[in-house]
């Protein structure tokens, strides 16, 4: 989102959203004003009535934002390990403007041959074990990787060992978050 755009949007219709950080599903009611705080990976993090919520890319029209056809995750590119990593970099924690790869949340990614395509196995963690957004982020990873050409199945496992810490972030992520 460019800085010139108005980040305050009136909801044009009722929309299902996910409360941050609890992960609870709620319906945001048309007519309320939402302040967009982050629009990365296709999703929108908003503040509405003093609460933070995430609106999925598929519901961008509720904010008066045109749904872009290019946000379909099937890139049409030939399958490769790099393609999977690139797709993982389109997934963001709704509270942090850094993708989950640069945050160091992906502990392992492996690719196996299946009957009808590739089986992708991902082990990931969260910045905090009690974060209710874990299933939401894992579902986004599953959906985006599953949309890639030649992917038969995706298995996303949330793991807690080793415990995540800030040293696991890339230098780019630390710079983005002002830690240098």
Q: What is the dihedral of CA 124, 127, 130, 135, to 10 degrees?
A: -40
For the chain, domains (ranges, CATH) are 8-67 (2.30.30.40), 81-176 (3.30.300.130)
Supply the mean pLDDT for the chain: 91
Global confidence as pTM:
0.84
pLDDT in tens, 21-59: 999 999 999 999 999 999 999 999 999 999 999 999 999
How would residue 122 be classed by pLDDT, with cut points 50, 70 and 90?
Answer: very high
Which pLDDT belongs to residue 4?
41
Closest residue by Cα to residue 179 from 88, 85, 98? 98
């Amino acid at each position: 989102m460019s800085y010139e755009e108005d980040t305050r949007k009136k909801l044009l219709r009722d929309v299902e959203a996910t409360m941050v950080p609890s992960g609870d599903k709620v319906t945001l009611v048309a007519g309320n004003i939402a302040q967009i705080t982050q629009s990365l990976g296709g999703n929108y993090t908003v503040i509405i009535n003093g609460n933070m919520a995430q609106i999925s890319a598929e519901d961008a029209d509720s904010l008066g934002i045109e749904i872009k056809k290019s946000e379909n995750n099937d890139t049409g590119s030939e399958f490769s390990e790099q393609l999977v990593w690139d797709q993982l970099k389109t997934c963001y924690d709704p509270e942090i403007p850094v993708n989950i790869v640069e945050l160091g949340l992906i502990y392992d990614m492996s690719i196996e041959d299946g009957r009808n395509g590739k089986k992708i196995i991902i082990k990931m963690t969260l910045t905090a074990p009690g974060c209710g957004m874990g299933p939401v982020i894992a579902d986004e990873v599953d959906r985006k990787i599953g949309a890639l050409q030649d992917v038969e199945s995706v298995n996303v496992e949330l793991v807690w060992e080793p415990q995540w810490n800030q040293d696991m972030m890339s230098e780019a992520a630390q710079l983005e978050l002002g830690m240098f």
